[in-house]
Chains A and B, each alone.
Chain A
Amino acid sequence: MILSSEIRLFLSVDISGSTILKSIYNHSTLLSKYKSRRASADLVKILFPNISGEQVDSILYKGLKDECSDWAAVIEEHFHGFHQMFEKKLKEYKLPKGLSFDSKNILPWKSIGDELIYSIKLNNAGSLHVFLYNFISAIEEYNSRLKQGNQIGMKGTAWTAGFPVRNRIINIPGNQKDYLGPDMDIGFKLKSCVKAGFVVVCMNIVDLVGRFETTNQIYIKHVGWDVLKDVWKGKPYPIFWASHSKDIHRNENNCGETFISKFTEKWLDEASLQEAKHFKEQIDQIRVNLPYDLGEVTPYIFDEEKKRPDDHELILQILAKLDDLNKTYEDDKPSDKEKVDKIVKDITDKIEKNIEIESISPDPDNKQ
């Protein structure tokens, strides 16, 4: 048996500014507001006895509702709002020939804290382009629609991970699956390298996207390097920001974050964005200089290319062989009842003998 391999695209949208939000709009602040309004309402009742208590309370709660938003509800609204926009973008996008999917089936894989993550199996470079292009487009449009001074913003991270050679799919309690591995670690750590309104992509995505010819280009800017903790044995990782437009756009909304990093400065410098294929040579050079045991290879989509690197082919054969060991042997033999009885008798006899020896041996702890 040959195990199959797959490459998945992970798209993460993270809500910036949500930490501050939680400290401003929570149930403790709700209680403080209530107490303040309650005192005023009680005073109104005394001063204006003609107004019913019910009417006063109604005004109190209405005011409370207008004044206080719960942070959980705000996050929920943004998650739903973003998902709707992403789904709409995908639905309206003119798919290239040979590619079809129902945008309604593109659902988040899971949320972790303030982050919503999509996980999509890739069959070809075309599908990668479609999902990434519309994800970037959704992030940029969602942020542009947020009113000036909004404390919330959306930032995006996109990465790919190949299974099961470099990364693994594991079962977790509750019949759920989880994706783990070095490429997943890279993805989760990349999100600290981008600010609201922008999308950071892993190196392999730039490589893969650069191979796909389309009129709706994804444009890339190499905004610098960063050491991602425990990634690439401490070697700096290239940071690429992506956009669906060649023009540099700005997002002055920092969402309460003090994110004025080297990446933002580089993004805003005069050099324009470039098509992903422009970075091919640079990426190849980066990969060549990495230690072999990191296992970084040129990314591939087996379903489309129908070939894998030789090492990956061999690893899959070894894994299949190991998996075979779990199977009970199929060339079943005839029963050997005599052998069964002998084994059971030998073992039980041995134990009975040991018990007998123990019962007649003096207790070693009882030395007198």
Chain B
Amino acid sequence: MRDNARNSNAASCSLSKSRRVDSKERSTLNITNQGNALNIDCLAVKEFTGSINDIEEIATRLLEYFKSKINVVTSQYHFLCEIVNKLKGSIVVSNNPFFYEEDGGSLLIKKDKSFIITLSPITSPLRDNFTIAHELGHYFLHYDQDIDIKEDIVFARYGRDLYERQANCFAASFLMPKDDFIKAKKEYGNDYSALATRFEVSETTVRIRERNINSFLP
């Protein structure tokens, strides 16, 4: 049911590359487990050197830019698919719920600079929104497009805490911009269900965003 909904979303946003892949096919796509923690040390992958507020700013500016380029949006998922589409990337759904273990991560950047975001077959659409935004965070913050790569890059989720936190920070800022979030909090209070619906993310994600925003407020 959930997968159907996700597939129909994918279809509605004309993301022709959004489809299911199994492990075997991933191998043919040259997604391997080789050095998933090591290739994060390749020259094209760098830690983001700025502050949290910088990440918030990048997320806000890119969000505004994408909004200006993508006119018709039916859902957050649709919007994210369109962004991936415009960046010449694709989203696939793995047949293996444990593909992290097997393939080392859910973002693959290929030698030709195209990229693939892999979603788990068991996660909810709300979680998927966050995953896509998180992987885009890696793509924007940690991948240097100016450097040619000789091998595919797999961003390992178990790479480094800092990379993950920066990508999480980007995803949260992108899906729940700080000003919008504070405004929504005033409107919905502690109704986390309503807040989650408003931003199309899970309640857990809303709670984490609230915790993090509160820690920055004076």
Contacts and interface: CB of A to CB of B under 8 A. Distances in A.
Nearest to B48: A339
Interface stretch (B22-30, B104-112, B159-167): B159-167
Interface string A143-175: 000000000000000000000000000010111
Nearest to A335: B51
B169 A328 contact: yes
A169 to B, nearest CB: 12
Contact of B54 (A175, A324, A327, A339): A339
Contacts of A171: 192, 203-204, 207
Interface string B138-178: 00110001100000000000000110111011000000000
A354 B208 contact: no
A64 B197 CA distance: 48
A351 B190 contact: no
Interface residues of B, number: 38
B4 interface: no
A325 B165 contact: yes
Nearest to A176: B193
A343 interface: yes
B58 A344 contact: yes
A327 B193 contact: no
A178 interface: no
A354 B140 CA distance: 16
Interface string A344-361: 101110110011000000
Contacts of B48: 339
B50 interface: yes
B11 interface: no
Contacts, number: 86
A97 interface: no
B49 A348 contact: no
Contacts of B54: 335-337, 339-340
Interface in B50-89: 50-54, 57-58, 61-62, 65, 69, 86-88
B176 to A, nearest CB: 13
A337 to B, nearest CB: 7
Contact of A328 (B57, B165, B191): B165
A334 B52 CA distance: 9
Interface string A248-261: 00000000000000
A336 B165 contact: no
Interface string A318-330: 0000001111110
Given A175-B193, A354-B86, A334 B141 contact: no
Given A171-B204, A339-B49, A328 B58 contact: no
Contact of B65 (A173, A329, A335, A348): A348
Given A175-B191, A348-B65, A355-B86, A326 B50 contact: no
Contacts of A336: 49-51, 54
Contact of A326 (B51, B141, B162, B208): B208
Given A175-B193, A335-B51, A339-B54, A325 B86 contact: no
Contact of B140 (A174, A175, A337, A347): A347
B215 A328 contact: yes
A337 B51 CA distance: 9
A340 B58 contact: yes
A324 B65 CA distance: 31
Contacts of B8: none
10 contacts: A175-B192, A326-B208, A328-B212, A328-B215, A334-B51, A335-B54, A339-B50, A346-B145, A348-B65, A351-B87
Given A328-B168, A340-B61, A348-B62, 19 more contacts: A171-B203, A171-B207, A175-B191, A324-B161, A325-B161, A325-B168, A326-B208, A328-B165, A329-B161, A332-B52, A336-B50, A337-B54, A339-B48, A343-B58, A343-B140, A346-B145, A347-B87, A350-B87, A354-B87
Which 4 residue pairs across A and B have the least CB separation, nearest first?
Answer: A336-B50, A173-B193, A329-B165, A328-B212
